[in-house]
Amino acid sequence: MKFNESDILQIQEKGLNTEEVNRQIEIFKRGNIKVDIQEAATIGNGISEISDEQRTEYIKDFEHKKDELDLLKFVPASGAATRMFKALHNFVDEFDPKEKDLRDYLDEKGDSSLQLFFNHIEKLPFYNEAITAAKKDNSSFDELSNDEQKKVIAENVLYEKGLGLSDLPKGLVPFHKYDNIVVTAFEEHLYEAAKYADSKGVVKSHFTVGQGDKEKFEAEFDKIKTRVEEKTGLKFEISYSYQDPKTDTIAVDDENAPFRTEEGKMFFRPGGHGALIDNLNQQNADLIFVKNIDNVVTWSNLGDVVDYKKMLAGKLLELKDKTFGLINKLQGNPSEEDLKEASEFLRKQLFVKSLKGSESASELLGKLDRPLRICGMVKNEGEPGGGPFLVKDEEGEISLQIIEGAQIDDNNPEQVKIVKESTHFNPVDIVCSVKQADGSTYDLEKYVDPNMSFIANKTKDGKPLKALERPGLWNGAMAKWNTVFVEVPVTTFNPVKTVADLLKESHQTDE
């Protein structure tokens, strides 16, 4: 693809080069590469079931060692709250209380989340503030019909004239209310981190935020700092980063030529959460806890969340110590017994299987000397999320991977059959070890599988385009990590995908 001078300047301003943009265009021409799943990871075959006794021991081990470790909680928080309020936006755009009853409208839409929202609206943490804003916006609010009041309240929840929640980053949306204190998802992450990610009285958290949102998070922390530190008795160190513009990807038209705006400029889009591997690569902690911004619970429901986070960390420390011990043996003058031990550890503990048979010390070392992660897996009860599978790569190596539905060839009956045998899904409950045996940090960019990028159909200014998503942060971006799956209870997974999810029991306080 040849670019004009204006194109080249635009590419350079992004921090990219023409070779990288051409590489991306070739991916569009190639199309999505489907993964080759061999089996669904299940209990005893890729997913470990930890007994109560083992869990207690892992927790004790982690608690004993944590003050000697540099701990960090890493939270992808760049998402806007727009999707969370999508159904409410549709309601405001479509519903006219003078023409139709609210109940009839809700029955016609058949949207259970919208029905739940209006049935229990008074239980939302920001309800009182929304009522105050609605009355300020409409002086005759008390004289309106019930349906008219509901629409005015919805408008004031969404828009800047009221609370403006739809325009906020998701992390700054009020999630819970305790007495008269309204708490955001951001603040809840701090309380949670204080329960397992403190070391020597300090809690370190890193949030990836959208351009222009850092100041909003900093202002929120300034507002809550005293409250959070007094409640926990700990100090907090919070850092932020942006998704680097150089990780944006070119969009193309149906002919796989660069999509151009009405001004004739090429259109670049954010490369998805997989671009955050660059942000994670900048961190230098011994253990990194990764969790999504919307997956938090109320204070009274933290028990299982904290216990299982500590358990995962304790299990990771055990695996890391074993891995480092084997690496040291293989770097020396390994015996046949050492080679056998390393091979069995890879096969039985990390579920890395080679079709080659016996392997040399250097080959075994290459497989062991990688970043390590442990991922909690929840029994699949219909929640969305990627699933755990044993996947074969281009070199014939079989390993544990988290795979999204879009990566699977649904035209292949065998692949579809394996998917149906899946029992668990990924709640993004991950603990990472990114340091090598000598204490230096791995370059995480080297462990990305570029073939796991994904092409999606989108629109811009009403015109169709094809967009390129980088390999997902916990999918292809970590494909070449060593991975262990452990079952965790569903009580540890409480995402807020829609505003109505805030009405679920795990998000209700005792107020």
Residue 172 and residue 186: Cα distance in Å, rounded? 6
Mean pLDDT of 35-41: 94
The pLDDT, as a whole number, for residue 381 is 77
Tens-digit pLDDT profile for residues 285-321: 999 999 999 999 999 999 999 999 999 999 999 999 9
Task: Give 466's DSSP letter.
Answer: E
**How confident is the prediction for the chain on average, in pLDDT?**
93
- The rounded Cα 279 to chain-centroid distance in angstroms is 13
Residue 455 and residue 467: Cα distance in Å, rounded? 6
- Establish how many alpha carbons lie within 13 A of residue 190's alpha carbon, considering only the half-sphere containing its beta carbon: 26
Tens-digit pLDDT profile for residues 359-415: 899 999 999 999 999 999 999 876 656 799 999 988 888 999 999 888 889 899 999
Residue by residue, what is the 3-state secondary structure of 154-202? HHHHHCCCCCCHHHCEHHHCEEEEECCEEEEHHHHHHHHHHHHCEECCE
Q: Write phi, then psi, for 476 (nearest 5 degrees).
A: -65, -25
Residue 191 and residue 198: Cα distance in Å, rounded? 11
Tens-digit pLDDT profile for residues 436-463: 999 999 999 999 998 899 898 888 888 9
The pLDDT, as a whole number, for residue 243 is 87
Query: Following CA atoms 392, 398, 399, 404 in sequence, which dihedral angle do they give, to the nearest 10 degrees?
Result: 20
Query: Following CA atoms 31, 32, 38, 40 in sequence, which dihedral angle do they give, to the nearest 10 degrees?
Result: -160
The structure tokens listed for 394 are: 């281009």
475 contacts: CB under 8 Å, gap ≥ 6? 274, 386, 401, 402, 403, 404, 407, 452
pTM here? 0.94
Residue 434 and residue 331: Cα distance in Å, rounded? 19
